[in-house]
Structure 1
Amino acid sequence: MKRIVNLLAALFIASYAAWASGPTADSADIKLYDISVAVDAQARKVRVRIGLDIEKYRVSSEREIIFTPVLVARDRSDSLVFEPVTIAGRNRWYHYLRDGVLDGGDSGIYRAGRKIRAAYDREFAYEPWMGQSVLEMRAETANCCDTPSRLAGPSESGNVPMAEIDVTRPSLDARFVFAPPVDAGPVIKSIEGSAFVTFVVNRTELKPDYMRNRAELAKIIESIEYVRRDSDATITHVHIKGFASPEGPYDNNIRLAKGRTETLRRYVRDLYHFSDSTVTSSYDPEDWAGLRNYVADSLNFSIGHRSEILSIIDGPLGFDNKDLAIKTQFPADYAVILNDIYPWLRHSDYKVTYAIRTYTDIAEIKRVFETDPTRLRNVDFYTLAQTYPEGSDDYCKVFETAVGVYPDDPMLNLNAANIEMRRGRLDQAQSHLLKAGNTALANYARGVLAARRGDYPEAIRRFSSARDAGMPGCDSLIERAKEIRDHSSVTYLVSPVSR
């Protein structure tokens, strides 16, 4: 936390009887024209500036006044004594001059009554005890032979208190607001796979017993059966997309891909007596994307001219000319592609989509949460969380699981952010709030996060946005955040005195 306080103040001690007779060596009158204390706990440094108005002092010829700034822990457990500033009478001044003490110009000794100002400026390392401390001035007087005698001040240490340091900021207590997500409807799940159903060359009729077709068709059938065995699931859609390899004329490949995919679609439809709208199909007559992936990524095939073949695939040639170019320019590689890669491009991708029934009983929701939470709607998680005390382990577990199932749901991310802020994990909360949308609740939560990070200008901006969007209760938070933003870590304990 960074709070630099630079104030000009003057200190005039006139209320103590021992000091009431004026600025002499026997009754010190501290004439400060400037005092500034800057505390930066984050950068771990403190800077103290003190200015003494030397012209104001009338010190007898043989005497001097010694001012020593002291930083004292509030509990008196530690202290730091700075270099003294001495204001000397005429003879004392010449004594220092004859002894060479004034050589160099930074002795901290000044002749009383001169039209000069003594500027004291020190920066030093911040230590934890300084966070609650008091800057005091110790005043002493002496002549050439005396031991300096103290001019007692009102502090516990007998000094004059000048500034109090307290880096502890007031806190902003803003409640966490959890909110239900918008109901996204029933849970939709799917099973996807690929079946390598083989057709007779240049034909579109499906022969279930041809080559490995029984095993490949079983992939589709087993996926459908898996859903049918689930009493909570209802199949809503089956889609089949057929792919053909690039060899042969493109027009003929269109005919084969379209016809073979339609044959397979009808086979699945009739097997289960599905409607035409339930089982649909599409096709890709030449799977050039699949060919590119095999050539680029699979090192299991002995292809000597990968980069050149990839350039042909990505180039401007038409489909038939691409196949011909590879075949004629790189016949050895084409033989590998024809025998080892093209068969893998003749496949049928399928997707079985099904809906999970809505659970309305809380006991059922709890059971499903423990067995397979991906079957719950986003609103079910919120309903379940309300059965636990807010902030409890079970409550937090529900929202953590929910955002894992629905990672892009704005309100679930908002609730997860609240959980993370409650735990003090502010970076994780920030990640969730990036997905929380731009609602009043989301901006409110961002305001809470900013306040917890000590960024009160941002907190004020976010709370203002939430208020303007209709969220109640933000005005008091804005005012409190402003108070904390403007809080000074340094309080000056004296009133200014004009020059």
Structure 2
Amino acid sequence: MKMKAIYILLILLAPALAMAQYKGKINVTPLKLEQKGDSLYISIDINMQDVRVDTRRSVELIPVLTAPEMEKALPAVLLKGKSNYHIWQRKLTLMNRKERLGYLQDAPYTVAKGFKSKDERRITYNKVIPFEAWMKDARLDIRKDVCGCGNPPSILEVSQLAQVQLEKIVVPYTVTPHLAYITPEVEAVKRREMSGEAFLDFVVGKTDILPDYMNNPGELQKITNMMAALRNDPAVTVKGIVVSGYASPEGTLKMNQTLSEGRAKALTDYLVPKFDYPENLYTIAFGGENWAGLLEKVEASDMKHREEVIRTLTTVPAEINYRTNNSRKKSLMQLAAGVPYRFMLKEYFPHLRKAVCKVDYEVRGFNAEEAREVIKTQPQNLSLNEMYMAANTYEAGSPEFTGVFETAARMYPSDATANVNAASAALARGDTVSAGHYLEKVETPSPEYDNTMGVLMLLRDDYRQAEEYLTRAAASGSPSASRNLEELYLKLDNIRQLREQDN
């Protein structure tokens, strides 16, 4: 009798204990329980938006098909408190490949945050399972384990889905992509570099700068503007300034080096008194004979003998070959009786003599709110992680959200993380063309890359490739890929139904 009294007391206390685990109301609305051919289609709307789960607990919602003598539990929806959610994330991260594959075989339908978060906690539960004969008498219950600690689950009241009447006309299914973004690594020290070129005019044979001579005012202004912008930025600490002089190829290498270093020193002497940087931050260097600049000008021109000049510039070494007594310069001078060389000497060589000022500097770190403002005017000062934080201050999928990821890809054009995230942002607004361009730049695949490629192929109606990418991503532990596979199979089944309907 005493045990019976305890049991009755526990039953009476159960609702109160459940309420202690979470606050708010879980609203479950049946949308579909429909057999078509050899499949059973299940759709439920679960609204947990106002629910707050105790930080150490979780709420498990288990859809169960129930018939008089048979039942079948479907993958659960988990709503986790803050500590419980982070513990689950860590466990998932630490799983090896074998453990992850085992987890995926019995994984929940989805895991949602049961605490204050921008994440959507209104879930449309879509499931397609093989239809069995006993299911014709089944109903759909939602059972809940209110603490996730092994106590017997209680039944959450819900209408019987078998009574729902649905329109029988099959309409094209619209895929809902589930996109995954990569959190970039934190950049401990943000080292940056900024360069400016000045094509200065010097009196023949001289290395001193005349600020008012020919084009010098405008050329010097380019360098001083760059230096002033860095000096006036409180987030910047300059670590070094390298001033390099480049020469046109005529004359001897020794003479070119002497002139170029002299001109680089002249530019340094011009800059030192204008900015309050110590002189020991400056380094003077000889950049070399500017063959690259010459090739660029020839390729952009329609000069006579253009192809022969390009071939000489790209195949003949600049250094003298003492065995053959030949060099790039000598070959150019002998080409077509020297006509193209004399033309380049007059038209192109003066523009090859330049000074390059390269500033090496560090930028302090920014929090999310600061990064949100900095990206508007000085995106080069942000790391990818700071841009990611800034993006997440906006609503997912909004123009501002996608704009940040596009800026990140523009500032870090060869970074895989930047391009995968930009591709996901493009797909969020249905832009498959931009997404394809971003993904073409990724050389190192990842689960997020495979998921994004899978979504791209799915939206391009390339279902075979979509399945390959999404299956690989799901096997690597991507929950988004698993949900996209569900979307793929729903789409394929919808196509089959539309064909049957048309026939």
Using structure 1 for the length normalisation, give the TM-score.
Answer: 0.50
Partner of 1:382: 388
- Return the offset for 1:278: 4.8
Alpha-carbon distance in 2 for matches of 1:477, 1:306: 54
SS in 2 for 1:388: coil
Alpha-carbon distance in 2 for matches of 1:390, 1:467: 23
* 1:403–1:480 Cα change, 3 Å: closer
Deviations 1:58-94 (A, max 9, x none): xxxxxxxxxxxxxxxxxxxxxxxxxxxxxxxxxxxxx
Partner of 2:449: 442
Alpha-carbon distance in 2 for matches of 1:430, 1:295: 33
Structure 2 residue corresponding to 1:233, chosen from 232, 236, 260: 236
Partner of 2:404: 398
SS in 2 for 1:237: strand
- Return the offset for 1:444: 1.9
SS in 2 for 1:352: strand
- Return the offset for 1:273: 4.8
Alpha-carbon distance in 2 for matches of 1:295, 1:402: 34
Structure 1 gaps of 5+ residues are 1-164, 493-499
Matched, 1:458 2:462: no
Amino acid at match of 1:451: L
Alpha-carbon distance in 2 for matches of 1:313, 1:416: 39
Amino acid at match of 1:318: S
Structure 2 gaps of 5+ residues are 1-167, 317-325
SS in 1 for 2:194: strand
Matches within 5 A, 1:39-438: 168=171, 173-184=176-187, 186=190, 188=192, 190-196=194-200, 198=202, 201=205, 206=208, 215=217, 219-258=222-261, 260-261=263-264, 264-265=267-268, 268=271, 273-274=277-278, 276=280, 278-284=282-288, 286-291=289-294, 297=300, 316=316, 317-318=326-327, 321-322=330-331, 325=334, 329-330=337-338, 341-360=348-367, 362=369, 364-435=370-441, 437-438=444-445
- Return the offset for 1:288: 4.2
Going by fraction, where is helix more abundant, 1 or 2? 2
Higher gyration radius (CA): 1
Q: Conserved in 1, the CA contact under 8 Å of 2:241 and 2:281?
A: no
Q: Conserved in 1, the CA contact under 8 Å of 2:247 and 2:256?
A: yes
Amino acid at match of 2:240: H
SS in 1 for 2:394: coil
Deviations 1:251-293 (A, max 9, x none): 4334444455456556656875535465342332x44444555
- Give RMSD over aligned pairs: 4.4
- Return the offset for 1:370: 3.9
SS in 1 for 2:445: coil
- Return the offset for 1:359: 2.1
SS in 1 for 2:374: helix
* 1:242–1:402 Cα change, 3 Å: closer
Amino acid at match of 1:438: P
* 1:304–1:208 Cα change, 3 Å: same
Amino acid at match of 2:235: D
Alpha-carbon distance in 1 for matches of 2:280, 2:446: 43
SS in 2 for 1:418: helix
Alpha-carbon distance in 1 for matches of 2:204, 2:341: 22
Q: Conserved in 1, the CA contact under 8 Å of 2:261 and 2:284?
A: no
- Return the offset for 1:440: 1.0
Q: Conserved in 1, the CA contact under 8 Å of 2:333 and 2:341?
A: no
Alpha-carbon distance in 1 for matches of 2:457, 2:341: 62
Amino acid at match of 2:478: M
Using structure 2 for the length normalisation, give the TM-score.
Answer: 0.50
Matched, 1:471 2:475: no
Deviations 1:150-196 (A, max 9, x none): xxxxxxxxxxxxxxx98756666553333323345637352412241
Alpha-carbon distance in 2 for matches of 1:304, 1:417: 44
- Return the offset for 1:465: 0.9
Deviations 1:369-411 (A, max 9, x none): 4444444332223222322333344434433444444444433
Tell me the matched-pair count. 319
* 1:259–1:166 Cα change, 3 Å: same
Q: Conserved in 2, the CA contact under 8 Å of 1:242 and 1:349?
A: yes
Amino acid at match of 1:381: M
